[in-house]
Structure 1
């Protein structure tokens, strides 16, 4: 049976919707965290993106915000930037190349894994990081759940 253009369009749309749903189902819930001692209780994705992309160095309340990344190439790091800042690893590299070249900023510091991010963020209310939701504990506060 031959399909017309409309049927092919509908079939393609259904395929992409199902493929996207499958990709999301396999993705881990990420949380953006601050120290439990921080005054920040919640952030929007655009606010988090602005901090991690060097567009602001302050939390909305005016306190200093220092982002902490996972290592370059980490799947969780790639997922974070894709979902929060809509940046692929290549786009993120281009962004930071431009920022550094023009003297407008330096990329965030790095910690080796989620446990190290959680530990360093817990110790310093100026730090902000992201970890798997399953790695949360009482030493840090989730300010954004990224699904």
Structure 2
């Protein structure tokens, strides 16, 4: 029998996970597809529904952790990709959430929404999407 200590529990809660609106049918995404969605190169879910991407500010520690740990890129690399699309007129940047509770609210109320949260902020209004 393994007993989780406080450090394990808090590490688990602070894990940053990919989160979507409950109506999104997709349950799993590859890292490459997830990266394409957050780089705003892919604009729809596999079933054709439009993706509405939400991110925290570039300086937010959870944004940095998500970009590095889940996408394998640095936040400034994402920002460069967004800036390039906006300035060239070929796309737009994701929508910004100000805090994790704000992110939760936006993900819960926006059909097709995709974002990320630490596990402690999850509730039954959103779903976790696995990254393979």
- Please name the residue that 1:107 is paired with: 93
TM-score normalised over the length of structure 1: 0.73
Tell me, yes or no, if structure 1 residue 74 matches structure 2 residue 60.
yes
- Please name the residue that 1:130 is paired with: 116
Q: Equivalent residue of 1:49, what SS?
A: helix
> For the structure 1 residues 98 and 82, does the alpha-carbon distance in structure 2 shift closer, same or farther, using more than 3 Å as the test?
same
Aligned residues: 122
- Please name the residue that 1:142 is paired with: 128
Q: Equivalent residue of 2:29, what SS?
A: coil
Q: C-alpha displacement at 1:97, in angstroms?
A: 2.5
Q: C-alpha displacement at 1:142, in angstroms?
A: 0.1
TM-score normalised over the length of structure 2: 0.80
Tell me, yes or no, if structure 1 residue 41 matches structure 2 residue 27.
yes
2:17 & 2:127 partners in 1: Cα distance?
A: 9
Q: Contact conserved, 2:83 with 2:93, CA < 8 A, in 1?
A: no
Structure with a larger share of its residues in helix: 1
Q: C-alpha displacement at 1:132, in angstroms?
A: 0.2
Match for 1:56 among 39, 42, 52?
42
Q: CA-atom RMSD, angstroms?
A: 2.3
Tell me, yes or no, if structure 1 residue 65 matches structure 2 residue 65.
no
1:143 & 1:107 partners in 2: Cα distance?
A: 21
Q: C-alpha displacement at 1:95, in angstroms?
A: 2.0
Decide which structure has the larger Cα Rg and report it. 1
For structure 1, the 5+ residue unaligned runs are: 1-24
2:40 & 2:131 partners in 1: Cα distance?
A: 21
For structure 2, the 5+ residue unaligned runs are: 1-10
